Amino acid sequence: MSVTRDDLRANFASALSNMYRHEVPQYGTLLDLVSDINNRDSKEISEPVQRRIEVERHGAIRLGKPEELATMRRLFALMAMQPVGYYDLTAAGLPVHATCFRPVSPMSLTKNPFRVFTSLLRMDMIADEAIRSRAEDILNDRQIFTSRCLDLIKELELKESYSSEKAEQLLQEALETFRWHKSTAVDSDTYQTFQDAHPLVADIVCFRGPHINHLTPRVRDIEAAQAEMRRRGLCPKDNIEGPPLMKWPILLRQTSFLALEESINFSDGSETDGKHKARFGEIEQRGMALTPKGRRLYDQLMERFNKRLGDVSSQEKTTPEIGSKLLRQEFSEFPDDLETLCHEGLAYFHYRVAKSHTPTGTKGDIDTLIQTGIIEIEPITYEDFLPISAAGIFRSNIGSACAKSQNSGNADRDAFERGLGCPVQNEFQLYEKMQRESLAKCWEELKIMPS
Ligand code: OOG
Ligand code: NI
């Protein structure tokens, strides 16, 4: 029996989910409540979409050095996951930059869209030279992959499919890298020094591996999930990150519950009684992918919203309700019907010929074909992340010590890609290609040339 890269990704996502469920019981509660909500009114959506959502998860890890990122790229490539997008988080006062490893072809996405937000520590953002060189020394000596895992990567990257035995071995070895370690490699003083420099530095440098810090199921109704989280004793953050509730959801809406305070030991277990906050729970609702034009409008409205919220909160105490009302007001400018979104080129769509249509050499431009119901459109799901939302998620789970510190930002995409060993893919181009190919198929089926 052989296993494809898509199978390996699906198996890995499922094994990781089981492991995390044991490590963090609240995650199990989250999965249960999300599944309940997703199965309500599930007749409204197509079966492949329902199946995809049922297993859909994203995770996040934080890496310490470029070599780790390069090996992670090779490991994820065996699961048909490729780096897409560059996220600079320094603008939000976080010393990391990131990419998303995810499947890119429509078929792989339908099978299992598992994605991992993978960030890399920015050494150059640690101001204190002594702390920086201490961190470098510790990371230089660290190996986050088992030696068997490294051997298997070398062996399997030359193949398209793997024996089920080899696939299972790789999966087990890879899990080791994502596992939680209760003991740090460093002593408590060193841990505290890094914690004072930045909680992210402590979380990244002090442990033997980049423990998975959350796994996020996708929910169809995030308002319902937020209320249900409260009812079941999980304490979600007050506001939902991202765009407001709309008839036709756009991009990504997320909420999380705060990091757990976990007991840890130092010096490989010989010093006890430490506490660490890193792991948390999150849920997301995914909407349609926006074109660069749509994204510019989104960013503009978000910026206006943040400014207004800032103005209002400088005069009175704001509540989450006031925030979401302001957000809805700003986004009243964002079109909320499919035809306008499509016609104005704000979002990406799958085009297909309506089932009821028999080819008759139809002519006409795309708008007419859509209006007359010959071509149907369906929004393409957004598969990526949002930097401002990600910053909000980071901030809410590393503790209030890192309240908003706004810098001008200091992206270094070149350094990130040098570490990674290849350029990251452009997400807009991937969506554009999906749209273009679906349209080409329509012209072929209708046997006409595009006008
Ligand atoms: C990653 C936070 C970003 C998201 O969903 O935007 C993220 C982290 O905390 O390591 O997961
Ligand atoms: Ni997340």
Asked whether 254 lines ligand 1 (CB < 6 A), one says yes
Same-domain check for residues 360 and 251: no
Q: Distances from the Cα of 383 to the Cαs of 4, 172, 192, 397, 431, in angstroms?
A: 22, 27, 37, 23, 9
Residue 79 inside a domain? The answer is yes
Angle, helices 320-330/292-315, rounded to nearest 10 degrees: 140
pLDDT at res. 315:
83
Give how many domains the chain has, as a whole number: 3
Ligand that comes closest to the CA of residue 212 = 1
Is 233 part of a structural domain of the chain? yes
Structure token pair of residue 111: 């099978």
Rounded distance from Cα 101 to ligand 1 centre (Å): 13
CB 126 within 8 A of CB 135: yes
Residue whose CA lies nearest to ligand 1 atom number 6: 390
In this structure, is residue 95 part of a structural domain?
Answer: yes
What is the Cα–Cα distance from 19 to 124, expressed in whole angstroms? 34
> pLDDT per residue over 232-275, tens digit each?
988 888 889 999 999 999 999 999 887 788 899 999 889 998 99
The residues, any chain, with a CB within 8 Å of residue 97's CB and separated by 6 or more, are 86, 87, 88, 89, 90, 119, 120, 122, 411, 412, 413, 416
Atom of ligand 1 nearest to the CA of 213: 10
Report yes or no on 261 lying in a domain.
yes
Identify the H or E element spanning 231.
Answer: helix 222-231
pLDDT higher than 90, residue 13: yes
For residue 234, give the nearest of 259, 254, 214, 263 by alpha carbon.
259
Please give the structure tokens belonging to residue 131. 């702390």
Residues 245 and 296 in one domain: no
Q: Is there an atom of ligand 1 within 6 Å of 256 CB?
A: no
Does the CB atom of residue 285 touch ligand 1 within 6 A? no
Which protein residue has the closest C-alpha to ligand 1 atom 4?
Answer: 390
Residue 47 is assigned to a structural domain of this protein? yes
Tell me the three state secondary structure of residue 86: strand
- Element (DSSP H or E) covering residue 62: strand 57-63
Same domain, yes or no: 176 and 303: no
Asked if residue 62 has its Cβ within 6 Å of ligand 1, the reply is: yes
| Coil vs helix vs strand at 214 | strand
What pLDDT does 389 receive?
A: 87
Q: Residue 342 domain-assigned?
A: no
Contact 94, 101 (CB under 8 A): no
Residue 280 alpha carbon, nearest atom of ligand 1: 9
Tell me: do 271 and 390 sit in the same domain: yes
User: Residue 408: pLDDT band by 50, 70, 90 thresholds?
Assistant: low
124-149 pLDDT, tens digit each: 999 999 999 999 999 999 999 999 99
3-state SS class at 27: helix
Atom in ligand 1 nearest the alpha carbon of residue 398: 9
The answer to whether the CB of 124 falls within 8 A of the CB of 136 is: no
CA–CA dist 46, 352 (Å, integer): 15
Q: How far is the CA of 407 from the centre of ligand 1 (A)?
A: 19
Average pLDDT, the chain: 92
Is 343 domain-assigned? Answer: no
Q: Does residue 117's CB lie within 6 angstroms of at least one atom of ligand 1?
A: yes
Name the token pair of 177: 């890298």
Element (H, E) at 88: strand 82-88
**Does residue 87 sit in the same domain as residue 166?**
yes
The per-residue pLDDT for 358 is 67
Q: How far apart are CA 180 and CA 279, in angstroms?
A: 10
- 401 pLDDT exceeds 60? no
> Which ligand minimizes its atom distance to the CA of 252?
1
Residue found by looking up tokens 């840890």 in the block: 264
The secondary structure element, H or E, covering residue 61 is strand 57-63
| Cβ neighbour number for residue 28 with a 10 Å cutoff | 15
Residues 442 and 406 both lie in one domain: no
Read off the tokens for 265.
């030991």
- Per-residue HEC secondary structure of 265-315 comes to EEHHHCEEEEEEECCCEEEEEECECECHHHHHHHHHHHHHHHHHHHHHHHH
Q: Which atom of ligand 1 is nearest to the CA of 282?
A: 5
ipTM field: 0.99
| Atom 7 (ligand 1) nearest CA | 390
Cβ atoms 336, 248 nearer than 8 A: yes
The domain of 372 spans 348-380+426-451
Pocket test of ligand 1: the residue of 63, 87, 117 to mutate, having most ligand atoms within 8 Å of its CB, is 117
Token pair for 82: 């490729």
The residue out of 274, 304, 337 marking a domain boundary is: 337
Mean pLDDT of 204-231: 95
Whether 120 lines ligand 1, by a CB cut-off of 6 Å, is no
Do 416 and 441 have their domain in common?
Answer: no
Whether pLDDT at 50 is above 50: yes
Shared domain check, 198 and 85: yes
Residue 181's Cβ-side half-sphere holds a number of Cα atoms within 13 Å equal to 22
Q: Are residues 265 and 325 in the same domain?
A: no
91 is a domain residue: yes
Burial tier of 140 (Cβ tally within 10 Å: 0-12, 13-18, 19+): exposed
Report the CATH number that the domain containing residue 180 is assigned in CATH.
Answer: 3.10.180.80
Nearest-atom number in ligand 1 for the CA of 117 is 11
Residue nearest atom 11 in ligand 1 by C-alpha distance: 60
Check residue 407 and give its pLDDT.
59
Ligand 1, atom 9, lies closest to the CA of: 394
Which of the ligands is closest to the CA of residue 241?
1
Mutational pocket test of ligand 1: of 20, 69, 393, 395, the residue with most ligand atoms within 8 Å of the beta carbon: 393
pLDDT tens, residue by residue, 293-302: 999 999 999 9
Atom of ligand 1 nearest to the CA of 59: 11
372 and 250 inside one domain: no
- Could you tell me if 105 and 192 lie in one domain? yes
CB of 118 within 6 A of ligand 1: the answer is no
| Same domain flag for 190 and 308 | no
DSSP bridge partners of 277: 261
